[in-house]
Structure 1
């Protein structure tokens, strides 16, 4: 160790009035509360849990139920699987829905906690990297007096804070997040031409989605469905053969898109649709699967059946 103003300045470790952590001698803490609140809101709001009994509303009786999910203690040091999740419900029946939230709902919540922890650790890593880079390019700074050192380190700290702000922004907008791939196959009682048009004709999209849609079925064209919950862009269209899209759900991390490829394969009297999706955020794969199976495949089959019945009647 060295006294102030003596020896190698890299070994100065005295307590300083300006609070500067000289040369990263000791650990420093940063408040990630605001960032965590935003991230948790992004991960938790919109989670859907449903089974044959219902989803917030009991199908058999039509009764609506509300409840709470409480996480008493949340820490980046704890494993997501060990996180305590309490489920409560207002008085009345509907215990089936409460049990659903205790099982599937709790599992989805813990999955979101795991994604939050991964994102937080990534943020902390970027902050540490910014500190290391700042230190690397300021090594050798001469600190002859407290006054001069304080002035120079204040400038250094401001530069570091600006770098951290840039790095923190990149976590939300440009850093790669953990993702998974999905592969689904479905048979439709339709020709390739009929099925292809359902994904590229605005009127047909609005019919199966039962909501207004914006559709520009050309390379680089935008689309929007289900009241803006699904948005994206057409990357490639091979008529009656293949469609590739950039695809995102509203509750995904900002500016993150998956890549969805639809391959139309003719079969005797039917068409096989092969869906390959890459880049689905971790913990969102189940919602994505339900979205395609329930909101797309089942609704499209209903539309095709109705079209066939109308044709027979005419």
Structure 2
């Protein structure tokens, strides 16, 4: 038996003021789900997004699905959180009286995404020119506001649930105070960086130049151009051939998310059965970097030829991306949707 005060520090009970979870060696978990849901509702309800032409307000958070927890293992704090947030909004053009209503969704609030990677999807209850303009304003301008709110939630979560998870060891009070001051400074710096990243009025891009390449390809499918176009724009068909969840707003400026959120982007141009242009990125790419993908459909007597180009692919991702189109798109579409055999 070791002498008093000696031996494996994990078992030196007297070194801890309360004699429990010595040196924070054991796993400690605190459930933060209910607190998180309340805080998220508080942060989002009543948020106003406006300029001299448009006024929008997030009226209500209707559902928050997911969970959050704070964990300590070997004196290291680890936060787990994953939420899908849905709600309702309303707004109007400032020079009009018609009130527009719709729904919003934040689909990917999780520890896997930084604040500036969080998506904000917006839909309207009834289509009209006014509704489209208002929806696009809320989606684009509101994205920065939502990301700021989510960054605020993450900061509050870490501050609130750091208390009592890592317990003090002997003589560690001064160290904890110093660490708290460091964390506070770090959080402030992180908030400022988030503001820089999402500032829509920034006149110059931040970061280093990304060297890119261009992918040019051609693929033949045993189907009509109409069927192939639908396979790339119909969410049910996309989910079928990708065997994973997908979200799509098939309209100019509409957002899409495929393969569990690993591929995201928006529709730039849609000419049914002829041409499709997308802003397109993989989650692992440098932050806020998008490529441009153009699909052109050429229907023949016995097949449809798809000519596709992708510009802006990071050099380091070129081979992986080129191979990904073949494996995750074309081969899967031919196999699952039957586009590898003639249906004429």
- Shared topology, TM-score over 0.5? no
More strand by share: 2
More helix by share: 1
Greater radius of gyration (CA)? 1
| Structure with greater contact order relative to length (CA < 8 Å, sep ≥ 6) | 1
TM-score interval, normalised by the smaller of the two chains: 0.3 to 0.5
TM-score, normalised by the number of residues in structure 1: 0.43
